[in-house]
Amino acid sequence: EKPWRDVIAVDDLEKDWVTRVEVGRTTIAVYDTPTGIYASLALCSHAGADLCDGYFDNHVIECPLHQGAFDVRDGKPIAAPATRAIRGLEVRVRHGKVQVRI
Ligand code: FES
């Protein structure tokens, strides 16, 4: 199992929006939502656009390239042309830091 890693302070997250975080050479997207914090790889499953540049609303990230969309709670695609899930990451908060298993 992958270790938990601190990736960003909760206070540094964009409120109700998506925040880009570099973890080593991997770019992840951290989502602040009404029901908590979620995270995924930043890579869109359709053609690899950076989801951190997308539009975020409630629990849905819309890809900036072709407007595919995903529910960040389970990564599932909810709008074409996306057909495959994005890769979600386990998240927890400890001591004011967002931690992700990666
Ligand atoms: Fe994201 Fe095409 S790259 S919808």
**Interval 64-98: pLDDT, tens:** 999 999 999 999 999 999 999 999 999 999 999 99
The DSSP letter of residue 43 is B
Instruction: Show the ligand 1 pocket: residues with CB < 6 angstroms.
Output: 44, 46-47, 49, 63, 65-66, 68, 81-82
**Domain presence at residue 93:** no
User: Which residue has the CA at smallest separation from atom 3 of ligand 1?
Assistant: 47
Residues 100 and 102: their CA atoms lie apart, in Å, by 6
Q: Which two tokens stand for residue 5?
A: 């890693």
Number of domain units in the chain: 1
Quote the ipTM score.
0.99
Neighbours of 38 (CB within 10 A): 22
Instruction: Please report whether residue 101 resides in a domain.
Output: no
Helix (H) or strand (E) holding 42: none
Residue 81 lies in a domain: yes
Q: Are 63 and 45 in contact (CB under 8 A)?
A: no
> Residue 24, exposed/middle/buried by CB under 10 A (0-12, 13-18, 19+)?
exposed
pTM value surpassing 0.95: yes
CATH number of the domain where residue 52 is located? 2.102.10.10
Q: In terms of residue numbers, what domain contains 81?
A: 4-88
- 26, 17 in Cβ contact below 8 A? no
The whole-angstrom separation of Cα 30 and Cα 35 is 13
